[in-house]
Amino acid sequence: MRVKEWASREGLNEQTVWLWCRTGRMPVPFERTSTGVILIHDPKYETEPMNTGLRTVCYARVSSSDQKADLQRQADRLKAFALNMGVNNPETVTETGSGMNDRRRKLNRVLSDPSIGTIIVEHRDRLARMNAGLVESALNAQGRRLIVVDDTELDDDLVRDMTEVLTSFCARLYGRRAAAHKAEAMLKAADHA
């Protein structure tokens, strides 16, 4: 399991667990994957069945149809991750659409299906560009969980948030197609000012 989840279950601060991993003082076995993700193998939790009777879905998304090959690779990585976690029959749901769009038919079906206990995504932004934390909180309140395979941030938080807000406003003003280009132009103008 991920550092965040293990720390939460043990009642520890996440930063303490990271320090223990770096200094080799972890009381339980752990591994660092090739991407730098730390997976903790605590025997008392690994023997625990994952959401007994509930399905596990791997959700993969890309923004445009040009990225179809990336979509399949992403889905394959998620399925391999789920199998390594011990999931017997993980389902894969793939979708092409903007992360800013809340009208994604397949994701809405996955989120509204109470028989799905675990949703696995590669990056938080594959689920939603904004407010993915709210989705995770809602799932937790229902006894379901969201697993983010690579939870590292791709950008500086403030820059990423500003880009998301600008893109959202530009999408409303100029249409979705031109929104990303307008947001980039605004950020460049702000850098030079």
pLDDT of residue 43: 67
Query: 52 vs 86, 97, 183, CA distance in Å?
Result: 12, 31, 45
Query: 78 vs 36, 148, 190, CA distance in Å?
Result: 16, 10, 38
Closest CA to 63 of 180, 189, 155: 180
Q: Which residues of the chain register pLDDT less than 70?
A: 43, 45-53, 151-161, 176-177, 179, 193
- What percent of the chain is predicted at pLDDT more than 90? 19
pLDDT of residue 126: 86
Residue 133 CB neighbour total at 10 angstroms: 11
Q: Which of 63, 98, 137, 168 is catalytic?
A: 63
**Model pLDDT for residues 55-85, shown as the tens digit of each residue:** 999 999 988 888 888 899 999 999 988 888 8
64 is catalytic: no
Tokens 């923004």 belong to residue: 63
Q: Identify the helix (H) or strand (E) that includes residue 95.
A: strand 91-96
pLDDT of residue 151: 67
Q: How many residues make up the chain in this entry?
A: 193
pLDDT of residue 76: 92
Note the pTM of the prediction, 2 decimals.
0.59
Backbone phi and psi for residue 134, each to the nearest 5 degrees, phi listed first: -65, -40
pLDDT of residue 134: 85
**Model pLDDT for residues 144-164, shown as the tens digit of each residue:** 888 888 766 555 555 666 777
pLDDT of residue 48: 41
